[in-house]
Amino acid sequence: MNDDLLSRHRSVLPDWLALYYDEPLEITHGEGRHVWDSRGNRYLDFFGGILTTMTAHALPEVTKAVTEQAGRILHSSTLYLNRPMVDLAERIATLSGIPDARVFFTTSGTEANDTALLLATTYRRSNTVLAMRNSYHGRSFSSVGITGNRGWSPTSLSPLQTLYVHGGVRTRGPFAGLDDYDFVAACVDDLKDLLGHTRPPAALIAEPIQGVGGFTSPPDGLYAAFREVLHERGVLWIADEVQTGWGRTGEHFWGWQAHGRSGPPDMLTFAKGIGNGMSIGGVVARAEIMNCLDANSISTFGGTQITMAAGLANLNYLLEHDLQGNARRVGGLLIERLRAAAAQVPAVREVRGRGLMIGIELSTPGTDEADPAAASAVLEAARRGGLLIGKGGGHDTSALRVAPPLSLNVAEAEEGAAILEDALRSIQ
């Protein structure tokens, strides 16, 4: 049956629509932190549909909210007042930390970043955008144009002039050998130098932890230092929180808070986990920025009632059960367990991350040369052991991405770490 579905997939869907595994699997249902495939195999899910099933599979509170809302009305568009949308917007505006915040809902992180770029370029009357090397911001024409990861950038054509800044990757590049203080200083000097050679840009967009890039991040405080330089010149800061938001990093509710000494960003974008599988994205911005458009606009599917009901129920569960604290506690145990296991595997170059957002980078032993074949082999071995993880990285997809639902418990963390340890050892 799976072979037939794969054949049908290949005959009707694009060749560039990537599938994991030599024998792709069909996930049919899930519960908690586990999923099952069409052959009845059970897996511990440490990727959550690309960090999207953030809380748990088949979470009763979310399922109930969706079912009840479906019995009333699914959708009406933004042309009509929408109570669930206003309710969720109020909660997110308060949680964002952005003063006088306004919220616009979209259907994805790509669309959220598109909207943020539209707002920034309109507000600043500039189509120049600063982005980070190794970054990823979505699949649309404009978001591909600011993506600094060759593997996810199919065209160089863009409506924007994009300039790429150092700093998103701590352990590679020209400043990798510096200590944290000097690394930040060198990146700030590079930013100042870049700004001296170009017309004033609209904004810097940055992921606090780079997701598709392999869960890389700069030292805490880099974006605060950038913000001070940018603020002097009126340049906006957009924090792309599509993967880092909602407490996943454990230490903070938003990734930008690790860089928060200069205050919140001018805009933040969100998506993925807030819907726990439902299609929700959005932008939070100061009112003067959000309201700068001088033409009408709507969103047909952004903020639709059923997705907002899911988002509200999911956010309530997340806050009431302190899943940020759980990410900090269980994620801390998991990353230490993985570091101990990786210390015995020469192919592991680095284990990095925070909370339940952990990257394991593989390289040819004794070198810094990326080893995507090893990453693929570990991905396959983990699946055979009953564990689903992801891949990423800016150097030929050589990093494993570990991002379980935030309700992960200690026993499941230990089980997943043991499977992953065996998978890592299998490539030696």
Is residue 149 within 8 A of residue 136, CB to CB? The reply is yes
The percentage of residues in the chain with a pLDDT greater than 90, rounded to a whole number, is 91
| Total of domains in the chain | 2
**How many angstroms separate the Cα of 353 from the Cα of each of 17, 155, 360, 399?**
28, 30, 9, 12
Domain boundary among 320, 348, 383: 320
Query: Which of these, 235, 3, 283, 30, lies nearest to 126 by C-alpha position?
Result: 235
Q: What is the pLDDT of residues 328-341, one digit of tens each?
A: 999 999 999 999 99
Q: What is the mean pLDDT of residues 66-94?
A: 97
Domain boundary among 273, 297, 320: 320
| DSSP strand pairing (128-132 vs 203-206) | parallel
CA angle 151, 7, 427 (to 5 degrees): 50
Q: What is the pLDDT of residues 370-409, one digit of tens each?
A: 999 999 999 999 999 999 999 999 867 899 999 999 999 9
Domain boundary among 276, 298, 320: 320
Q: Tokens for 55?
A: 């809380």
Q: Look up the domain containing 128 and give its range.
A: 64-320
102 and 19 housed in the same domain: no
80 and 220 housed in the same domain: yes
Query: Which of these, 217, 195, 53, 74, lies nearest to 133 by C-alpha position?
Result: 217
Q: What is the pLDDT of residues 127-177, one digit of tens each?
A: 999 999 999 999 888 888 888 888 878 888 889 999 999 999 999 999 999
Give pLDDT, residue 395. 66
Q: Tokens for 380?
A: 């396959």
291 and 307 housed in the same domain: yes
Q: What is the pLDDT of residues 162-217, one digit of tens each?
A: 999 999 999 999 999 999 999 999 999 999 999 999 999 999 999 999 999 999 99
What CATH number is given to the structural domain containing 99? 3.40.640.10
Q: What is the mean pLDDT of residues 55-64?
A: 98
What CATH number is given to the structural domain containing 381? 3.90.1150.10
| DSSP strand pairing (267-270 vs 236-240) | parallel
Q: Tokens for 78?
A: 């933004």
In this model, does residue 1 exceed pLDDT 60? no
Q: What is the pLDDT of residues 297-309, one digit of tens each?
A: 999 999 999 999 9
- Name the 3-class secondary structure at 405: coil
Per-residue DSSP letter, 88:
H
Distance of CA 400 to the CA centre of its chain: 14
In this model, does residue 121 exceed pLDDT 90? yes
149 and 273 housed in the same domain: yes
Q: What is the pLDDT of residues 226-272, one digit of tens each?
A: 999 999 999 999 999 999 999 999 999 999 999 978 789 999 999 99
Q: Tokens for 108?
A: 């994805």
Mean pLDDT of the chain: 95
Q: Provide long-range contacts, Cβ within 8 A and 24+ apart, for 29-36.
A: 29/57, 29/58, 30/57, 30/58, 31/56, 31/57, 31/58, 32/56, 32/57, 32/58, 32/405, 32/407, 33/57, 33/404, 33/405, 33/407, 33/408, 33/409, 33/412, 35/388
The Cα 261–Cα 33 span in angstroms is 35
Q: What is the mean pLDDT of residues 79-87?
A: 97
The Cα 271–Cα 282 span in angstroms is 6
Distance of CA 170 to the CA centre of its chain: 18
Give pLDDT, residue 145. 87
265 and 302 housed in the same domain: yes
365 and 275 housed in the same domain: no
Q: What is the pTM of this model?
A: 0.95
Is residue 134 within 8 A of residue 165, CB to CB? The reply is no
The Cα 314–Cα 296 span in angstroms is 31
Provide the sign of the torsion angle of the four alpha carbons 15, 16, 19, 22, taken in this order. Answer: positive
178 and 229 housed in the same domain: yes
Distance of CA 257 to the CA centre of its chain: 15
